[in-house]
Amino acid sequence: MLSEKTIQVIKSTVPVLQVHGTAITKRFYQMLFTNHPALLNLFNHANQKQGKQPTALANAVYAAALYIDKLETIIPVVKQIAHKHRSLGVKPEQYPIVGQTLLAAIKDVLGDAATDEILQAWAEAYGVIAQVFIDVEAEMYQQSEQQSGGWADFRAFRVQRKVVESDVITSFYLVPQDGGALAAFEPGQYVSVKLQIPGEAHTHIRQYSLSDAPGKPYYRISVKREEAIQVKGKPEGKVSMYLHTQVKEGDVLWLSAPAGDFTLDQKDTRPAVFISGGVGLTPLVSMMTTLAASAPDRPITFIHAAQNGSVHALRQEIEELAGRSPQIKVYWCYEKPTTMERENIVYDKEGYIDLPWLQRVLSSPEAVFYFCGPVPFMRTINRLLKELGVADADRRYEFFGPSGDLEAPDEAAASEAAVQR
């Protein structure tokens, strides 16, 4: 337990962290990778270069300081991060390295303002917070390994099938190379894929949502090709490009066991509404497919936004599922439909999802809402659902990449690129 004095010192740093938090975490990652380059094997390099990871860490540090006397308040965030850590293979022995580097970064950025008293308080607080993560992750590692079909770390999977779903999205059907059983997963969860790309100094790990329902003899991931993303003038999306262009049927990929807390609540009996943008439909397809089988009388609405039909993945699969159940309604919103699509009316709305249209297609806002997609899209959907009167607890979402802020103005996110897991 932390002393009252330590708690008060940590709380006194909250205003400083609000101003300098991102500068501290940027310096932290610079120092971490300089002194411990092997850790580059665990991190998404694109998120580092785009500043997403330092921002996410700064938010987490700020929250820890703000609620240092009520750490139970941030347990949901701890569990969300712990899922990522377990899927990446973060180990307890790495936490002291992180703690030492974080303190050094605080001192480096704040200079004389980081007094010995402040640094000592943060050292004590970090020890307590780190132990919370270690304990939560230890339980996750144990559960992952000991469940039926489970495993520790990474396991070899063979690409059984590779299916082009759209101009930019391809699905990979993956089966265990050892022929063993598959671990169960919750609809909405993801797996980490670890690749050693020829010519790259470090391994690359990315998380991809499982895009089919549990209980199948395979895992399916549906990956968006991201070659258009530019970071400091250089193209990113190395992993997705490699999967699309180099990985063939019969090749082997290394996967961690399924993880993630963005999951379908199958005990809820209310109508379910799924709203996706772009490749954000992948976890929602898993949820909807599962729900249609387990609760056929539960009303489902599936709304998907895409630029046009050429980049719209899994449309036929969703329509076939809806065709078998009068309880499922699907709607397509195309930002820039082609002339042929306009003439044949193959979509329900042109442009962007807006409040009047949502009010028309939804029979009632009394439902649980799941949404996923690019950050600007999710900010818009979150705002629209709030305007509809949907309670916070009934708006459930997931970021592809480090967690962000859905309360920021939509226009502030206009230039943000959607990051595929």
Query: What DSSP character marks residue 71?
Result: G
Q: Where are the beta strands (DSSP E) in 265-326?
A: 272-277, 300-306
Please give the structure tokens belonging to residue 7: 């708690």
Question: Which amino acid is located at 111 in the chain?
Answer: G
Residues 6+ apart with CB under 8 A from 111: none
The annotation status of 207 as a binding-site residue, yes or no, is yes
Annotation-wise, does 89 bind a ligand? no
374 marked as part of a ligand binding site: no
Whether residue 137 lies in the annotated active site: yes
Judge whether 172 is annotated as a binding position: no
Bridge partners (DSSP) of residue 277 are 305
State the Cα–Cα distance between residues 111 and 298, nearest whole angstrom: 59
Q: Which residue among 29, 95, 141, 219 is the active-site one? A: 95
Q: Looking at 29, 62, 126, 137, which residue is catalytic?
A: 137
| 190 carries a ligand binding annotation | yes
Decide if 95 is catalytic: yes
- Confirm or deny that 215 is annotated as ligand binding: no
User: Which two structure tokens, joined as six digits, stand for 36?
Assistant: 């411990």
DSSP string, 147-199: STT--SSEEEEEEEEEEE-SSSEEEEEEEETT--PPPP--TT-EEEEEE--TT
Helix axes 14-35, 52-66, angle to 10 degrees: 130
Alpha-carbon distance 66 to 379, whole Å? 24
Is 280 one of the annotated binding-site residues?
Answer: yes
323 known ligand binder? no
* 401 in a known ligand binding site: yes
Residue 50, annotated ligand binder?
Answer: no
Residues annotated within a binding site: 85, 190, 206-209, 278-283, 399-402
**Sequence ranges of the binding site for heme b:** 85
Binding residues for FAD: 190, 206-209, 399-402
Known binding residues for NADP(+) are 278-283
What are the residue numbers of the active site? 95, 137
